[in-house]
Amino acid sequence: MTGADPTPTPPTVRDLGVRARQAARTLRSLDTAQKQAALHRLAQELHAHADLILEANARDVQQAEAAGLPAAMLDRLRLSPAALAALALDVQAVAALPDPVGERTAARTLPSGVRVSQLRVPLGVLGVIYESRPNVTVDVAALALMTGNAVILRGGKETVHTNAALESCIHAALAACGLPAGAVQVIHDPDRERVRDLLRLDDLVDAIIPRGGAGLHRYCVENATVPVIVGGIGVVHVYLDESFTRDPADVQRAAELLVNAKVQKPSACNALDTLLVHRGALPALPAIAGALVREGVDLRADPASLEVLHAAGLPATPAADTDYGQEFLALTASLRTIDSLEEALDFIAAHGNHTDVILTRDDAQARRFVQDVDSAAVMVNASPRFNDGGQLGLGAEVAISTQKLHARGPMGLRELTTTKWVVEGDGHVRA
């Protein structure tokens, strides 16, 4: 033999697309039991190879820390044994959900005699681009498999070792169930040109779903020839109405809810960013904001709320205009004094579209808030952290869409499907 290079040539993104398209034809014909079997096997593989996955993740975290990755990104990158076990449970939870594929709706017989219906089917091939979050690799793989979609995943360069380990587990599960490896593929090349290649693969990929910062979303929208489903970015507001501060028990509830909203996972897209305080609720602000301060939250307040906080001996800094409309993804929150529900609605209309909450005991104000706030999720007397696929009964999510076409809010199984018309006749011809 002559000196042939023994190292195999890495597949191009187009190669991955061809494999995914071929796999999608197999996946769309699977019945529910076959898809569930693949997911249960994936959960088993995650448990069996937990040590290898965590070791790979530790390498990624170490390299990310050395590279100076921001704390919020490190928090999203890091996997713990408990987090990995929770991922396996999420996979099993997806397997237990009703399978939307194959549902028939709008069935009827027309005057012409033909029978028509709409059949729910997979989208086909998905391209999912994300940063830092290795849990997305597993969540998306599970949701895609359960809906009969093939998926091409492109995580950030900081997740290269973790994603390689997770892809090995996914491929082992697919092989064990006789399914093609092209059903779930990871782009390992960190060059951003590979993202551009995926965005231009409109003859093979049916939808692009980015999960990351505003820069990633903008890049995808500006460079894609494949349809892009945008989401996951947005400012989260909580409006504290005066009526929710008249009872000391409600003040305590408000404090606990806001701590949950801001502190449980500050790097999440559904964490509190801006607290809007009705002027009549300012006397209760020290008790509520004090709970945030004790958890290490940096408060940036407008003059009225700043005066109240300083008078109570609580630390806060003056808010700049840029602190409103800002997604902090950290232990930072802005405060703004509001004179009316109308003003709160105007403020949210200018700065929101993701998750917005009202804390009120006034039913009329609650109804007005729900009706007028045009966001992906609107909540009454509940933490914004409930805007999550798992919390809303979807099992898991690919992303939280903040656009209005096709999908809005957490994207679970149904949001990864579409419909096609089925027309049945007996030699019928159009008159």
Cα Dmax for the chain: 86
278-299 pLDDT, tens digit each: 999 999 999 999 999 999 999 9
Q: What is the pLDDT of residue 310?
A: 97
How far apart, in whole angstroms, are the C-alpha atoms of residue 139 and residue 79?
A: 14
292-320 pLDDT, tens digit each: 999 999 999 999 999 999 999 999 999 99
Contact 422, 155 (CB under 8 A): no
pLDDT-based confidence at residue 27 (cuts at 50, 70, 90): very high
Q: What is the pLDDT of residue 1?
A: 40
Mean per-residue pLDDT, 355-372? 96
How far apart, in whole angstroms, are the C-alpha atoms of residue 115 and residue 117?
A: 7
Find where tokens 């408990």 sit.
82
Helix (H, G, I), strand (E, B) or coil at 171: helix
**Tally of helices (H runs) and strands (E runs) in the chain:** 14, 16
Residue ranges in 153-213 assigned as alpha helix (H): 160-176, 192-199
Contact 336, 277 (CB under 8 A): yes
102-107 long-range contacts, CB within 8 A, separation 24+: 104/422, 105/419
Pairing of the two strands 274-278 and 235-240: parallel
DSSP characters for 225-260? SS-B--BS--EEEEEE-GGGGSSHHHHHHHHHHHHH
pTM above 0.75, yes or no: yes
Find where tokens 């995926």 sit.
198
User: Does the pLDDT at position 230 exceed 50?
Assistant: yes
180-207 pLDDT, tens digit each: 999 999 999 989 999 999 999 999 999 9
Q: What is the pLDDT of residue 71?
A: 83
Give the contacts of 111 (CB within 8 A, at least 6 positions apart): none
Q: What is the pLDDT of residue 6?
A: 58
What residue ranges define each of the domains in the chain, with the CATH number in brackets? 13-196 (3.40.605.10), 235-386 (3.40.309.10)
Q: What is the pLDDT of residue 5?
A: 52
How far apart, in whole angstroms, are the C-alpha atoms of residue 367 and residue 372?
A: 9
- The residue among 165, 200, 225 whose CA lies nearest residue 12 is 200
Q: What percent of the chain has pLDDT over 90?
A: 77
Give the contacts of 308 (CB within 8 A, at least 6 positions apart): 282, 283, 285, 286
Q: What is the pLDDT of residue 133?
A: 85
Q: What is the pLDDT of residue 70?
A: 86
38-47 pLDDT, tens digit each: 999 999 999 9
Pairing of the two strands 115-122 and 104-109: antiparallel
374-420 pLDDT, tens digit each: 888 999 999 999 998 878 877 677 777 877 777 778 788 989 999 99
217-226 pLDDT, tens digit each: 889 989 999 9
DSSP characters for 4-27? ---SPPPPPHHHHHHHHHHHHHHH
